[in-house]
Amino acid sequence: MIRFPAKLVLIGLLGPIVGLAEDNKACSLATPAELESVLGSKVAALRGSSTPGSDAQICAGATAQAQVMLRLARRKEGSEGKEAKGVLIAKQMGAQVDVKTFGPITCSTFIPPENMQTRAGYNTTCTVKKGDMVAGVEITAKSRSAMVPIDKLRPLAEKMAGRF
């Protein structure tokens, strides 16, 4: 009987799902220093992941006050209008949503209704479309005072546009 060290078996099983930041293209969209300049504090080690059978890659990290997510994905045919539907649903739930478009960059803020604030967090997202690809940076703060304004996150999205 052939025996494999348990660590190697786990690496083999988890390899396609969880990887190191340098193995994940989403992790190359922004540097830790760029994220730190937006957030005002160091981001814990970025970790890349992907969903099996999907073209989407995610890179996540955190500070004491916020969660950070970088995404890179291929846009699916017929996905136009999904964002607008999501904004409408969020507003119907009582959330405050602000959307601003700057050419290929779309940024939004999400302030949840009072009954969801502790669960949902305060979100600022900027995405960049390039061909059939979309890259995004999403910051979900624990408090409204820690929320990142669109004007502070958009320059990072502009840099990301040249990296994929």
pLDDT tens digits, 103-154: 999 999 999 998 887 788 999 999 999 999 999 999 999 999 999 999 999 9
The percent helix, strand, coil of the chain (3-state, each to 5) is 35, 35, 30
Predicted confidence band of residue 1 (pLDDT cuts 50, 70, 90): very low
Please indicate, yes or no, whether the overall pTM of this predicted structure exceeds 0.75: yes
How far, in Å, CA of 124 to CA of 60, rounded? 15
**Within the chain, what is the greatest distance between any pair of CA atoms?**
61
Structure token digits, residue 18 = 């969880």
Q: Which residue has the tokens 């969801």?
A: 116
Enumerate residues 6+ apart whose C-beta is below 8 A from 9.
none
Residue 6 has pLDDT above 80, yes or no: no
- Region 29-47 average pLDDT: 93
Beta strands in 24-164, from DSSP E residues, in sequence order? 47-50, 57-62, 66-74, 96-102, 105-111, 122-130, 133-141
Considering the chain, what percentage of its residues have pLDDT values greater than 90?
60
Q: What are residue 30's phi and psi, to 5 degrees?
A: -150, 145
Q: For residues 67 and 147, is the Cβ–Cβ distance under 8 A? A: no
Cα torsion angle, 76, 78, 84, 87, sign: negative
Predicted confidence band of residue 5 (pLDDT cuts 50, 70, 90): very low
pLDDT tens sequence across 69-107 = 999 999 876 656 777 788 888 888 889 999 999 999 999
CATH class given for the domain over 6-161: alpha beta
H helices of 19-120, where? Answer: 32-39, 82-92, 117-120
Q: What is the mean pLDDT of the chain?
A: 83
Residue 66 has pLDDT above 80, yes or no: yes
